[in-house]
Amino acid sequence: MTLPTVVTMGGRERLGEILKAVGVARADDELLRPNGGSGSDDEWEPEEGEELRGDDPRLQLLPDPATVFVADQPWLGDVLMPVLRVDLSAVDPTWSGSLPIVDPVEPVHDVQGSVGDETEESHDDHACNSWMALRLEPDGRLRFLGRRTYFLHETLRERGELTGSPVEDHYVRDALDRAKGQLRLRRTGGKGAQVFTLGGELYWGNWTVVAPPAAYRYVEPHDHAGPPGVTTADGRPFRLVGRTDRWAWNDESVASLLVLFEPETRTVLMAVEFD
């Protein structure tokens, strides 16, 4: 496996911990070099997105789950928490409609290093460690493109092993923690709360350590002279809708969520960025 180079945020030791957490057995020496191993002196910097507060009119805070997921996948409301709805025309004036932003309840503390960990047998072309794909249907609802048992919660539920498990405990604690945060946001209308970074360019970070699922491609420019990219297998480019820090919704989360969109196939690709 050839890994893309990344900009580390805490030295060899920190990145090594991240690699272990997401299930990467080893890293090439080039990956761990302070300058990404490219040897380039270019100082390209990504175009930054716009930081939005919870009361921004381009956002809808905490949309009703009943309006977010397709009717034939009601279990999605157990494993993905709707946190925002973003006006797509704010990203690209040629786009219309809105995109729900959902935050996974997993990974389970002390059980998984990342969402998708411990369920490798359910990984497929649309979901793997730290990555998952959904489709934005014409009615604005989301359809998960991977297997239901990609989520450890659903694997254990299918086996009849969920009750009394650490996974069930994690989901209960997560629900209580989120309820407290949602109460604060509803009381203030989101004023003053930085909840989403709109647009901008993709950047070199820990999200590039794990390749996307097989239906998608990671594109690395020569010598890191520009932003990295992600495409469908047939070359349709994704665009960064934005990023949300998961601790805005759950005090125990230690990662950010990158949300990408490909308008022709209406595919939503989410990647976890570890801090």
pLDDT in tens, 244-260: 998 888 876 668 999 99
Task: Specify the pLDDT at position 138.
Answer: 97
pTM of the model: 0.83
Domain, as residue range, for 182? 11-274
Tens digit of each residue's pLDDT (9 = 90 or more) over 168-190? 999 999 999 999 999 989 999 99
**In-domain check, residue 190:** yes
Q: Are 127 and 136 in contact (CB under 8 A)?
A: no
Spatial separation of the C-alpha atoms in residues 179 and 251, rounded to whole Å: 11
**In-domain check, residue 2:** no
Tens digit of each residue's pLDDT (9 = 90 or more) over 183-234? 989 999 999 899 999 999 998 888 888 999 999 999 988 777 788 999 999 9
**In-domain check, residue 3:** no
Structural domain tally of the chain? 1
Give phi and psi for 144, each to the nearest 5: -75, 130
Q: Are 133 and 127 in contact (CB under 8 A)?
A: yes
Tens digit of each residue's pLDDT (9 = 90 or more) over 18-76? 445 444 443 443 443 333 444 444 567 888 999 999 999 999 999 999 999 999 999 99
Task: Specify the pLDDT at position 227.
Answer: 87
Confidence category of residue 106, pLDDT binned at 50, 70, 90: very high
Sequence-distant (≥ 6) Cβ neighbours of residue 165 within 8 angstroms: 156
**In-domain check, residue 1:** no
**In-domain check, residue 141:** yes
Task: Specify the pLDDT at position 261.
Answer: 98
**In-domain check, residue 23:** yes
Sequence-distant (≥ 6) Cβ neighbours of residue 142 within 8 angstroms: 68, 69, 70, 76, 80, 100, 102, 134, 135, 136, 268
**In-domain check, residue 4:** no
Angle of helix 166-188 versus helix 152-159 axis, rounded to 10: 130
